[in-house]
Amino acid sequence: MVKIEFLGPIGKETIELDAKNLSDVASELNKDKNISIWLEKSAVALNDTIVNSLDLPLKDGDRISILPPVCGG
């Protein structure tokens, strides 16, 4: 199981999924219309490291963070 946390204004509670790679996670999250709109514009971190590939393998206990864009001043 991997833990997926949604940061900032996404407003979704942390969930756990059984997934082999980030592509599996993306497929599952895209089923939720409220999350899928955020996935298009958010960065993804695996264990606190920003990643760009959905082919990265996952292991039990990994933490995935969905990081929406924010404005700062």
Q: pLDDT per residue over 15-58, tens digit each?
A: 999 999 999 999 999 999 999 999 989 999 999 999 999 999 99
Q: What angle do CA 58, 34, 52 make, to 5 degrees?
A: 35
Q: Is the pTM of this model over 0.85?
A: yes
Q: Which among 37, 41, 51, 38 is positioned nearest to 2, based on CA atoms?
A: 51
- Domains in the chain: boundaries: 2-67
Specify the pLDDT at position 71.
54
DSSP reduced 3-state for 39? helix
The mean pLDDT value for 6-11 works out to: 91
The confidence band for 11, taking pLDDT boundaries of 50, 70 and 90, is confident
CATH class of 2-67: alpha beta
pLDDT at 65: 97
